[in-house]
Structure 1
Amino acid sequence: MSMTRRGILAASALGLAAPSISYGQSDVIRLGHLTPRTGFLGPLGEYAVQAATLAGEEINAAGGINGKRLEILFEDSVNPQTGSAKAERFVQRDRVAAIVGEINSATALAIAQVVTRERVLFINTGANSDTLRGSDCQRFMFHVEGQNSMYVKTVGRALVAGGLVRGKKSYALTADYAFGHDLLRVARRFLTENGGTISGEDLIPTDLTDFSPFLLKIRQARPDLVVANLAGAQITNFLKQYSEFGLQFPVAGFGFDTALAWGAGQGNFLGTWPVMWHHLIQAPSAQTFVRAFTAKYNRPPENQAWGDYLAVKLMARAMTETRGTDGIKIVEYFEGEGRVDILKGREGYFRKRDHQLMQEAYAITALPAREVRNRWDIFRSGPAVPGPDEPLDAIAATAEENACTFR
């Protein structure tokens, strides 16, 4: 039986298989993809590019978007100035219909300012700062990536249950840029509200590779908990060196990407950390993605890959449903808070008031070395947070914690 045009569009929105279509040069929809490909966030950018590429291939194999082929243009955002300039070039020269990507919070804000002027949509896939959803929120920016409050409240529940917060002293190591500063602020609020204190803290330069001076300070301070508000290769280097120093104080991170633990090498991952997604989630759509990514790249996807893959698929779905690429129509479509499959147990939706994707998150804990069977499956996951009887916004920042007024 031949597939109808409507059937092709439905398959395209969901990433399902469909007959191939022959496209002309004018039958193209372009997306711009910006993310760090170098520097301390480069390892995550590589996963982001691979996942977006896979999503684009699946969409085109399923018939494209409204019968048009999807073309994704990739650029290294490097820093906020470069990210802003390349976003402008994407929109003004390349005529992209939307931009997806980014990991650095300061660069995400720079991109958001461009797309707001140009009235083109931007889906942020990796920048966590609460301020991007609060004081710096923008009407044309949406967030697949979780905000810092979601990460902190997710892992915070596990820490409170483990007796590591109330009456305990923490020592915080924080990445010295916008993301880290915001994460420290949110973490401090959570710990204080739950009866804990931060008794020592250090800001860590983003290009630092030698943590020994800070590990010596931790050894002397003897905290009840070491809090890692780190990012990118900082986490990999910290994990390696913490193990080498033989420190035994419990470790928890308030922000995390699975690839950074994999990069630390077998036996060096430790502690409890929050993630928005991981490759062991058993939802059927999650495992379909895991199989496809693994078959193409010979390694499983991690949470940054999930974010970019999902963002491209959601953008294609929105363009299919709105029958075009008009930015304001897509904004209104997402603001309708319609539930969609986000490769997890529960469907998610973009919250209208701040454009944050409401979704489950997970606290993962490193497996003991004797239980690790391969280089990828190095943790066990707690249950999804929020729980099945809670609303999805239970872990997100409240309006009082993080007010947004769209510009």
Structure 2
Amino acid sequence: MPPAIPMTRRGLMAGGAALLGTATLARPALSQGQSDVLRIGHLTPRTGFLGPLGEFAVQAATLAMEEINASGGVAGRKLEILFEDSVNPQTASAKAERYIQREKVACIVGEINSASALAIGQVVQREKALFINTGANSDALRGSDCRRYMFHTESQNSMMVKTAGRAMVDQGLVKGKKYYALNADYAFGHDLARVAKAYLGANGGTPAGEDLVPTELTDFSPFLLKIRQARPDVVIGNLAGAQVTNFLKQYSEFGLRFPVAGFGFDTALAWGAGPGNFLGTWPTVWHHLIQTPSAQKFADAYRARWKRPPENQGWSDYTAVKIIAQSMNELKSVDATKVVEHLEKGAKFDISKSREGYFRARDHQLMMELYAITALPASQVKNQWDIFSSSAAIPSADESLEAVASTPEENSCTFPS
């Protein structure tokens, strides 16, 4: 990616560094003596294989906070976001409890790791606090592990698979073709592999091989040797975070020529691989080249503030904070249950795409357009950021926004009481 982003475990604002073993339960509200301030708790990986994405999330949420405060805040109150590294599911759960019980945050935003998002979801359901998941894709979070107080601005795996899958079908990379899949060895990767295998099989693809890849692996040579021997028609990367960057760099170094595609992706990972190493076709929930007024306004503001374009993880956190502020201002309330009810009723939001988005009531997934991006040939790359071309929005304008989302038969959610 662009020059390596320094990863630390610090919070950007005072949020209390010590974890509490016990605390008095309280519903999300404003702190005593803090009636002029509304706090949001932000949790996301700042270190480890997902760390490069977490920094975009923090920067974009910070930008949203600054813009909201410049426009009068939330119900006349200044918005303050508390930032911390979620580290792992256990830490994420403990910090979510502290945010709610001690810091009295109005809601929690963030996360990328699906297992950590599940842990936070369990906390907010118990505490009746609002959580907007901005980066965890697992279908299970919208199905077997869904929670009424958890919403998702990040797309689910089914949406990513069906978006990239359409492009792959059009490119002749599925029907009658053999694929070799590399799958991230944790909850997200397992879920993505399951959904991808079902889609490819239904469209005439057959597996030539597959492997689980440890999340902290940096040397892909054993897997690349197996791919070379298997000679598939296409290589599928169901990977996450720095795995994608390392895989693409080493794939190019090995000189393999099998087409590459993937179903889990973030544009920062393409930037990390760099021009000439970034290959293939991948899905993304948003990218900085979208030509709508609100998309370009966000991209320009982010560039001005952080000296680089935003990527899709940043879009998700920025969008989540803006949705929360808009909802609370419209309701004139920070009560979590009232916000949940508001979102469930189909409130629509400008989400920096060509169509407004809304949360589907049955699983709280944001219904929206996605995009399939394809690496540009090296001769067409003009800078380190604009290294891909994009499909038109998927679903197309004449389709329902739910066209690429999971069906009730594919992924059923029953909210716990």
In which range does the TM-score fall when normalised by the shorter chain?
Answer: over 0.9
Within 5 Å, give how 1:31-180 maps onto structure 2.
31-180=40-189
Within 5 Å, give how 1:5-404 maps onto structure 2.
25-404=34-413
Shift of 1:43: 0.2
Secondary structure at 1:171's aligned position in 2?
strand
* CA offset digits 1:19-69 (Å, max 9, x no partner): xxxxx9530110000000000000000000000000000000100001000
Distance 1:278 1:316 in 2: 23
Residue in 1 that maps onto 2:27:
none
Shift of 1:344: 0.3
Q: Quick one: which amino acid aligns to residue 77 of structure 1? A: S
Shift of 1:218: 0.3
What 5-or-longer segments of structure 1 have no aligned partner? Answer: 1-23
Distance 1:279 1:31 in 2: 26
Secondary structure at 2:95's aligned position in 1?
helix
* CA offset digits 1:125-163 (Å, max 9, x no partner): 000000000000000000000000000000000111111
Q: Quick one: which amino acid aligns to residue 398 of structure 1? A: T
Q: Quick one: which amino acid aligns to residue 295 of structure 1? A: A
Secondary structure at 1:200's aligned position in 2?
strand
Q: Quick one: which amino acid aligns to residue 72 of structure 1? A: I
Secondary structure at 1:392's aligned position in 2?
coil
Distance 1:193 1:266 in 2: 34
Distance 2:296 2:170 in 1: 30
Secondary structure at 2:179's aligned position in 1?
strand
C-alpha change, 1:339 and 1:404, in structure 2 (3 Å) is same
Secondary structure at 1:393's aligned position in 2?
coil
Distance 2:327 2:121 in 1: 19
Distance 1:266 1:378 in 2: 6
Distance 2:204 2:300 in 1: 43
Distance 1:290 1:175 in 2: 30
Distance 1:363 1:338 in 2: 27
Shift of 1:273: 0.3
Q: Quick one: which amino acid aligns to residue 74 of structure 2? A: I
4+ residue segments displaced more than 3 Å: none
Q: Quick one: which amino acid aligns to residue 327 of structure 1? A: A
TM-score w.r.t. length of structure 1: 0.94
* CA offset digits 1:167-205 (Å, max 9, x no partner): 111000000000000000000000111111122000000
* RMSD, matched Cα: 0.7
- Judging by fraction of residues, say which structure has more helix: 1
